[in-house]
Amino acid sequence: MEQTDQVPSDRDELLNEILARIELEKWFGADLYPIRPDNGETQHTPAEPAAADSDEMAVVESPNEKQAQLDELFEAMKTCHQCQFGDTRTKLVFGEGNPDARLMFVGEAPGADEDRQGRPFVGRAGQLLTRMIEAMGLQREDVYIGNILKCRPPNNRTPTPAEMTPCLPYILKQIEIIEPEIICGLGAVALKGLLRDPSVSIGRIRGAFIDWHGVRLMPTYHPAYLLRSPQQKKVVWEDLQAILRELGLEPPPRRGS
């Protein structure tokens, strides 16, 4: 990185924090987690004025503040070339949606359509994800959608867990900012990345919540897999209904797939 005589900006400090985390992982095998205290159930806390005399005033970020932090993160990493995928991408795919989302979907990596448009889940699999979200009675704008890898692997090949490592701090930072109550992990590769476990079998773990550093993590199949195996839509719908119940929302009646 170039050295300047200028006082470091917030963006520089954020980038430095991320790079330090990457170095920790690279050199010491340090665990990037926890991203927050592991205190079990996480509640979506409405903003309330903190008591003036409280020594430990809870910091509740407004959606605008969260969006500003996401914008700052994007500015800090939009020219990232931490790994080889930065050399072959067309557009970096940061993620999009509600900065204050209660539910966040995390996939593995952008595909060809996403690489062209710079937006997550906009190809055929993305259109199916949109329909899945709408079937839940929600809109894409209600949730946040992102991937572990921000740049497309050439020919859409599956990234290895080691290849996902340099990019992990970005999704962790996004989760830290958004503070979702529930993350829906889409597909085996994303789950291997989030759980830091290359032996994960999506068929074994899908459908049951995992307490992941204070966030409820629901593993389910990737929409791209559902395009190839539409008979699995039924179990994914069950997973989505479980998410709605966990959020205290009523699953709408199913209108067919």
- Interacting residue ranges for ligand SF4, rule: CB under 6 A: 77, 80-83, 85-86, 92, 149-151, 166-167
CB 57, min distance to ligand SF4, A: 35
Please state the closest distance from residue 211 (CB atom) to ligand SF4, in A: 27
Q: Output the residue with the shortest Cβ distance to ligand SF4.
A: 86
Give the shortest CB-164-to-ligand SF4 separation in angstroms.
8
Closest CB to ligand SF4 among residues 140, 150: 150
Nearer to ligand SF4, 39 or 79 (CB): 79
Residue whose pair of structure tokens reads 């993305």 in the numeric block? 126
Nearer to ligand SF4, 85 or 212 (CB): 85
- Closer to ligand SF4 by CB, 140 or 152: give it: 152
Could you tell me the smallest distance in angstroms from the CB atom of residue 77 to ligand SF4?
A: 6
**Of 18 and 243, CB closest to ligand SF4:** 18
**Residue 111 C-beta: closest distance to ligand SF4, Å:** 14
